[in-house]
Amino acid sequence: MATRFRKDDKSKDRKNTEAEVHMIGELDVGWGFDIEDGEGLFVEFSIQHGQSWLALSRMAESCQQTQTAFADESNVHVWNQPLDFHWVTDSLTTWPRLRLQVWKLDRNGRLDVVSYGTVSLPCTAGHHELTVSTWTPRGLRNEELYAAFCGSRPQLMQLELIDKGAKERHFFPTSSSGKISLTVDVVLRNFAYHQIEHRPFVEDRSGKANAVGPGIAGLRGSMTGLGKSIGLN
């Protein structure tokens, strides 16, 4: 995994040459959720990534939760949840994604899932502002009637569906829900040592630039350069 380095590395302290990705930011606010007055919202979030990524921070390897926030006069829920993700990696494949699950706390103290969402974390160094559009599953007619009167909506049995693309979820009926904004500052360490160049993200017409994550198209030789330099090939 992250213990493999360039073949020409003769240094004793090889840990100083590992490719590191550090993301610091904040899960800011949410708005547009279909809930009643007096109900609060909180977010469970976790990171999904490939096997080549080794977490160096606790937040990057476990599920986390914000506090319960109630809407202000503008119907905005403010969380200001700090984010701190840190990894070492020997491959840029399966770039980390943030998985979100929005819960509500009603006036009777009951908890219920409101919506789900996911977003690819930025691949370029610097400051980034992201907006995540969430969605909620649509159930059968009797389930929708139950949700209308009792407030408990259908939930996902397998959270892996959140990470699937639109083409893989075409059979799965959903409805749009609220949005969540977050800010992320990305620091890349030792990428130049492994001859990986990161440039501003430019999306192509085919959409292939988003296959791994935002900005991955700006990494010249990203899919093979790092593997060759560390000794995977």
**What pLDDT, in 10s, does the model give residues 101-140?**
999 998 888 898 999 999 999 989 999 999 999 988 876 6
Residue 221: both structure tokens together: 């030789």
pLDDT of residue 209: 39
CB 40 within 8 A of CB 76: no
CA distance 2 to 89: 5
pLDDT of residue 90: 83
Helix ranges restricted to H, the chain? 141-150, 222-230
Low-confidence ranges of the chain (pLDDT < 70): 1-15, 139-155, 157-158, 160-161, 164-171, 197-233
What architecture is the 14-230 domain classified under in CATH? Answer: Sandwich (2.60)
CA distance 217 to 233: 22
CA distance 201 to 155: 35
pLDDT of residue 100: 95
User: Cα–chain-centroid distance for residue 25?
Assistant: 12
- Does residue 129 sit in helix, strand or coil? strand
Bridging pattern class, strands 40-48 and 64-65: antiparallel
Helix ranges restricted to H, 109-209? 141-150
Closest CA to 183 of 130, 147, 139: 130
pLDDT of residue 64: 94
